[in-house]
Structure 1
Amino acid sequence: MPGEHVQSNSRSARRQRTEDRILAAAADLFLAHGYRSATVRAIAESAEVSVGRVMAVGDKDALLIACYDRWIAQLQDGTYDLPLARVNRGTASAVQDHLLGIFLPFLEFFAAHEDLARDYAAALIRVHGRPQVFDGLARDLQTALSENLTSIGISEDNARASAAALYDSYMGVLFRWAASDMGFDDAVAALSHIIAFHTRFRRAP
């Protein structure tokens, strides 16, 4: 029935608005107070919902991952306002420089919130399922990398393979950063070397 369809859409829209409010509250508290200090009760109070309603969206791990999915999506589409650090890129080529520039907003965001980034890495290990960082967001970033690689004459097949390798390397650098005393400059240097490797060979005939 048309009326039932309208009611269903209305309930779905209300549920989405509530979930958005919960994630916005969680994001604010995580950024302001850190993962450990931000309690589910505090998130519920900030979002003006019950603790049970928050838990219906997810526990703290799931909420943190959902927040990062949103932040990463905003970084990828350029809607998250974050000033980039000045990075000495040495003698990198224009393409290498551009590829590194694709990763810099993410590295800068992690550098600005190192403790939260470590909690995020731990949450990714604990939580089952497929966060967007391993799914749609990963595909979008790999597509951007692949297009840049083909622009310098690398074949499409090799560009896709290199884009996937670059993405996996980027994720590996982030996990290594979270688990060690690695810093922002070290992470940039590691990715710069990997990018240089993938742009110096396998040109299309």
Structure 2
Amino acid sequence: MRTRQLQRRTSVAQVLDAAERLFATFGFVDTTVKDIAAAAGLSVGTVMSVGDKNALLVSVFDDRIAKIHSARPAVTTAQTAPCAERLTLLFTPFAELFTRQPELSRSYASILVSGQHSSRVFSELAATLTDEIAAELDRCSRACGVADATLEATRARAIYLAYLGLLFTWPPELDADTGALLTALQQLSESQLPTCRCRVAASVQA
């Protein structure tokens, strides 16, 4: 049993590694399951047991997103940044990922939106990011003397959903423009902050 489990894990790793390399080199559309099987040195059946092409792309991106999330620097390291910038820092690594390989990012987003395949990592990250956004909004609101936990939770959800909308509908002509995406994200964050001096404050006190 242990041998079979080890073989299975090895096969999955080979398939995902081959899929990631081919997607990055030839693009999602031009890569076939047969190509992945050949690159992995496995049969088409073995590749399909791991997942179809859509599922493989979701797995590849999920792994990248999970690694980025675990490696993100804490926003608390940016104590002197204005509120909107602190909120934008939460999204920066993901914006960089999505603009680094826009064609793959669009394919990944399309698969998730279609509901063909779900993403456990993406779902878990949604809850984490929403909580982080709410915490930053709370810090800013308390500095302004207008803290409202219920309102911050609503604003956090709105910011998260708008963030997804920006990522998933970013204009093709701006695909690789990380700076433009981050500027849009910061403007989005700014629009949800309470109207007070903390919008432009040099720091936010805990």
Relative to the length of structure 1, the TM-score reads: 0.76
Deviation at 1:129, TM superposition (A): 4.1
1:197 aligns with 2:191: yes
1:142 aligns with 2:142: no
Q: Which residue does 1:158 correspond to in 2?
A: 151
Do 2:111 and 2:117's aligned partners in 1 also have CA atoms closer than 8 Å?
no
Deviation at 1:100, TM superposition (A): 0.6
Do 2:95 and 2:181's aligned partners in 1 also have CA atoms closer than 8 Å?
yes
| Within-5 A mapping of 1:56-71 | 56-71=49-64
1:24 aligns with 2:12: no
Looking at structure 2, the residues matched to 49 and 122 of structure 1 have their Cα atoms a distance apart, in angstroms, of 28
1:15 aligns with 2:17: no
Q: Which residue does 1:115 correspond to in 2?
A: 103
Do 2:37 and 2:43's aligned partners in 1 also have CA atoms closer than 8 Å?
yes
Q: Which stretches of structure 1, 4 residues or more, deviate above 6 A after TM superposition?
A: none
Residue range with higher mean Cα deviation, 155-164 or 94-103:
155-164
Do 1:76 and 1:141's aligned partners in 2 also have CA atoms closer than 8 Å?
no
1:187 to 157, 181, 184: 181
Deviation at 1:98, TM superposition (A): 1.6
Task: Provide the aligned C-alpha RMSD in A.
Answer: 2.6
Q: Which residue does 1:41 correspond to in 2?
A: 34
For residues 145-169 of structure 1, what are the alpha-carbon distances to aligned partners after superposition, in whole Å with 9 as ceiling and x for unaligned?
Answer: 2222222324333332222211111
Q: Which residue does 2:76 correspond to in 1?
A: none
Looking at structure 2, the residues matched to 95 and 78 of structure 1 have their Cα atoms a distance apart, in angstroms, of 22
Identical residues among aligned pairs (%): 30
1:128 aligns with 2:122: no
Looking at structure 2, the residues matched to 129 and 181 of structure 1 have their Cα atoms a distance apart, in angstroms, of 27
Amino acid in structure 2 at the alignment position of 1:122: S
Relative to the length of structure 2, the TM-score reads: 0.76
Which blocks of at least 5 consecutive residues in structure 2 are unaligned? 73-79, 199-206
Higher relative contact order, chain-length normalized (CA < 8 Å, sep 6+): 2
Say which SS state the counterpart of residue 169 (structure 2) adopts. Answer: helix
Looking at structure 2, the residues matched to 166 and 69 of structure 1 have their Cα atoms a distance apart, in angstroms, of 21
For residues 51-82 of structure 1, what are the alpha-carbon distances to aligned partners after superposition, in whole Å with 9 as ceiling and x for unaligned?
Answer: 11111121111111111111111111117xxx
Shift in CA distance, 129/113, structure 1 to aligned 2, threshold 3 Å: closer
Looking at structure 2, the residues matched to 201 and 66 of structure 1 have their Cα atoms a distance apart, in angstroms, of 41
Which blocks of at least 5 consecutive residues in structure 1 are unaligned? 1-6, 80-91
Looking at structure 1, the residues matched to 29 and 91 of structure 2 have their Cα atoms a distance apart, in angstroms, of 27
Deviation at 1:173, TM superposition (A): 0.4
Amino acid in structure 2 at the alignment position of 1:34: G
